[in-house]
A and B are shown apart, each in its own frame.
Chain A
Amino acid sequence: MNVMNANNLVEHIFRHEYGKIMALLVHKFGTTQIEIIEDAIQDALIKAMQVWSFKKIPDNPTGWLLRVSSNNLIDTIRRSKKITLHQDVNEFLEGINSKNENVLLGNEINDSRLKMIFACCHPSISQEYQIILSLKLISGFSNKEIAKALLKKEEAVAKSFTRAKKKLKVHIKNLEIPVELGLRSRVNIVLKIIYLLFSEGYKATTGEDLIKKDMCFEAIRLALLLTENKYCNQPEVNALIALMCFHASRFEARIDDNNEIVDLEHHDRMKYDRDLIIVGNQYLELATRQSEEPSSYHLQAAISYCYSIAESFSKIDWSTILEFYDLLLKKQRTPIVILNRLISFSKVYGTGKAMLELKLYEQSLNYTETTLYNAIKAEFFNDLRKYDESKLALKSVIENTQNPLEKKHFEKKLELLLYNEKARTIKSRH
C-alpha cells in the first residue's frame, strides 16, 4: 500500500506541482533568481486554474506547468537587462519542449527536489528559517497557511520568508546533494527538520486542523522523497516515516468534536487510522532490517507503535514501552525522555517508586519541561490520593502553559479534582 493513498486526502496537485517546478527551475537558474521564479510559477498556476476549469487537467500537468512557467520566466529575463542568461537556457527550453519530457522530467524532478530539501535545511540557516523555506519552496504553502499552522501573524511569516530567502541566496548558490562524506550528517539535519515540521502540525493547538494535518502529511512526503535516493535511504529515514505514520494514525482521536484535548486513556480507538498503522509497520520493519542498532527514531517509532495498536488503555504494553524508553535514555538523556519514561515506569513499578524518581529531576529542569514535570506530578499525586499536592501541581501547569488547549484541558482536570473533593466531604458527613 502506498502511504499517500492511505490518508484519503484530496491530492494537492497545485501545491505539489508548485514545489516540483520550483525545485527544477531553481536548480536550473540558481537561487539568485528565486523571486522571479516564484512569480513565473504563480502566473502559470493562475493560467492552469483558468484553463483546467474548462477542460480537465492534462495527463502531464507537470510538463504543462513547467512549459508555461519557463516561458514566463524567460520572458521576464529577456525583458530585464540586469539579468544575464545562463548559457544553457536555450538548451533547457528545447529540453522541456521535446517529446520525451516524461522520461526527462521524472528523474530530474526527483533529483532537484532532493537538492532543494538539502538547500532549505542547510546547516548555516536557522531552524526557524529552515522550516519556513521548506514549507514555502518545497511544499507550496502560502504565508497565510503557514501562519495558521504555526499560529503566527501572516506578516510575520512573510517577513521571515524574505529574510530566509536572503540567507538561502548567501549560503547556497546552486542546488546540490552533499558529497557522500558529509551526507549522513546532512541527512540527519533534514530528518530533524522534517520531524519538527511534523510535530508543529501534530501539536494540539487552536490552529485549523485541516491545514495542520496537511503539514503532517507534507513531512511524511518529504521523508518519502529521501527514500527514493539510494544514498539518502538510510534506516533512520524509514524509522522516522514509521514514527510519523504511527503518530498520525491517532490524529483524529486526540482532539474531540469540541476541540478539546482527549488524553491517551480516553482515546476512541475506533478513530485510529488502521491503514497508517499498517504502513508505519512496514517502514518500521524495513528500518529494523536495515540497521543493526536502533536509532532514536527506531525506538520512538516502536513506542508509538505500542500506543497505536493497543485495543484499549488497559491493554497498553507498558513494560515493552519501558524497555524501549530505557534504550532511548541511553541515546538521549534529555529531560523530555526521562519524564516520559517515568509514565511507563509508574505503570510497571507503581506510582510510589516513580514518584521517588520524578523528584530527583526537579532541580535540573528548564522552563518548558517544568510543565510536563508538573503534569506528571499531578497525575502521580492523584494516583497516590494526595489530592492537595495534585491540585498544587495542576495549578502550576495551568499557570505556565502557553497553549490554550492544554490550559483548558488541565483546568478541566482541576475542576474534576475539586468536584471529587466535594463529593468526598459530603460522603464523609453522612
Chain B
Amino acid sequence: MSNFLYLFRGGDASRIQQSPEEMQAHMQKWGAWMGGLKEKGQLVDGLPLNKEGKVVEKAGEVITDGPFAEGAEVVGGYLIVTATDLNDAVDISKGCPIFEHNGNVEVREIMSMDM
C-alpha cells in the first residue's frame, strides 16, 4: 500500500452558475464520497485551498499573485489516500464529484521515506 496525493483542479466556471440548492447538492456529494473513502480506510488527509495566493521566486525578488494563469489550472484542494498502486488510486478518484464541474484530478504517488 502507498499513499497518493489527489490535486483537484478547475471546475470554477461551472460553480459560478450554480443555484444555492445545486451547490448544496454538490457539497453533499463530496461529503458522501469522502465519507465513503474514510469508511474504507482509504482517506488519510485532505483540505481545501483558498483561491488567493502568491508565487515567490528568486528568494522573494519576484512575487506574483498566483498561482493561476487560467481558471482551469487552479488547485482547489488536495486529498491523500491510500491505495495498492497508481491504477488503484486512479480508480478510486473516478468517483470524485469534481468531474461534474469539468474539473480534473491529478493523481501522484507520494514517495515513501523508508525504502
Q: By the criterion CB–CB under 8 Å, are B21 and A145 in contact?
A: yes
Majority secondary structure of chain A interface residues (helix, strand, loop or mixed): helix
A 42-76 to B, binary, CB cutoff 8 A, 1 in contact else 0: 10011011111110100000000000000000000
Binding site for B on A (CB under 8 A): 12-15, 17-18, 42, 45-46, 48-54, 56, 140-142, 144-145
Q: List 5 A-B contacts (CB under 8 A).
A: A12-B20, A54-B30, A54-B77, A142-B18, A142-B20
B98 shortest CB reach to chain A, Å: 10
Q: By the criterion CB–CB under 8 Å, are A15 and B24 in contact?
A: yes
Q: By the criterion CB–CB under 8 Å, are A49 and B21 in contact?
A: no
Complex partner residue of A12 from B24, B26, B48, B77, CB under 8 angstroms: B24
B19 surroundings in chain A (CB, below 8 A)? 15, 140-142, 144-145
B44 shortest CB reach to chain A, Å: 13
A126 CA to B36 CA, complexed, in Å? 49
Complex partner residue of A14 from B15, B20, B76, CB under 8 angstroms: B20
Tell whether B55 is near chain A: CB-to-CB under 8 Å: no
CB-CB nearest in chain B for A43 = B16
B52 shortest CB reach to chain A, Å: 11
CB-CB nearest in chain B for A16 = B20
Q: By the criterion CB–CB under 8 Å, are B24 and A13 in contact?
A: yes
A140 CA to B20 CA, complexed, in Å? 7
Known: A50-B48, A53-B48. A45 touches B20 (CB 8 A): yes
Q: By the criterion CB–CB under 8 Å, are A15 and B77 in contact?
A: no
Given contacts A13-B24, A50-B48, A140-B19, 20 further A-B contacts (CB under 8 A): A12-B24, A14-B20, A15-B21, A15-B24, A48-B27, A49-B15, A49-B23, A50-B76, A50-B77, A53-B48, A54-B48, A140-B20, A140-B21, A141-B21, A142-B18, A142-B20, A142-B21, A144-B19, A145-B19, A145-B21
A43 shortest CB reach to chain B, Å: 8
Q: Which of B58-83 contact A (CB under 8 A)?
A: 76-77
Q: By the criterion CB–CB under 8 Å, are B20 and A52 in contact?
A: no
Q: By the criterion CB–CB under 8 Å, are A142 and B16 in contact?
A: no
B21 surroundings in chain A (CB, below 8 A)? 12, 14-15, 140-142, 145
A18 surroundings in chain B (CB, below 8 A)? 20
Tell whether B95 is near chain A: CB-to-CB under 8 Å: no
Known: A52-B27, A54-B77. A46 touches B16 (CB 8 A): yes
B46 shortest CB reach to chain A, Å: 6
Tell whether B22 is near chain A: CB-to-CB under 8 Å: yes
A154 CA to B59 CA, complexed, in Å? 52
Give the bracket for the number of chain B residues in contact with chain A. Answer: 10 to 19
Q: By the criterion CB–CB under 8 Å, are A17 and B20 in contact?
A: yes
Tell whether B41 is near chain A: CB-to-CB under 8 Å: no
A14 CA to B18 CA, complexed, in Å? 11
Known: A15-B21, A42-B16, A145-B21. A49 touches B26 (CB 8 A): yes
A264 shortest CB reach to chain B, Å: 32
Q: By the criterion CB–CB under 8 Å, are B24 and A53 in contact?
A: no
B16 surroundings in chain A (CB, below 8 A)? 42, 46
B68 shortest CB reach to chain A, Å: 15
CB-CB nearest in chain A for B46 = A54
A42 CA to B21 CA, complexed, in Å? 12
A52 surroundings in chain B (CB, below 8 A)? 27, 31
A7 CA to B73 CA, complexed, in Å? 43
Q: Which of B1-48 contact A (CB under 8 A)?
A: 15-16, 18-24, 26-27, 30-31, 34, 46-48
B50 shortest CB reach to chain A, Å: 8
Q: By the criterion CB–CB under 8 Å, are B23 and A14 in contact?
A: yes
A13 CA to B31 CA, complexed, in Å? 15
Q: Which of B18, B24, B47, B76 has the most CB of A within 10 A?
A: B24
Q: Which of A12, A17, A46, A50 has the most CB of B within 10 A?
A: A50
Known: A42-B16, A46-B15, A46-B16. A51 touches B48 (CB 8 A): yes
A335 CA to B90 CA, complexed, in Å? 66
Known: A12-B24, A15-B24. A53 touches B15 (CB 8 A): no
A51 CA to B22 CA, complexed, in Å? 16
B 75-103 to A, binary, CB cutoff 8 A, 1 in contact else 0: 01100000000000000000000000000
A12 surroundings in chain B (CB, below 8 A)? 20-21, 24
CB-CB nearest in chain A for B47 = A54
Q: Which of A12, A52, A54 has the most CB of B within 10 A?
A: A54
A163 shortest CB reach to chain B, Å: 20
Q: By the criterion CB–CB under 8 Å, are B30 and A45 in contact?
A: no
A50 CA to B16 CA, complexed, in Å? 12
A46 CA to B48 CA, complexed, in Å? 12
A56 CA to B32 CA, complexed, in Å? 11
A142 surroundings in chain B (CB, below 8 A)? 18-22
Q: By the criterion CB–CB under 8 Å, are A14 and B47 in contact?
A: no
B18 surroundings in chain A (CB, below 8 A)? 46, 142
A157 shortest CB reach to chain B, Å: 12
B32 shortest CB reach to chain A, Å: 10
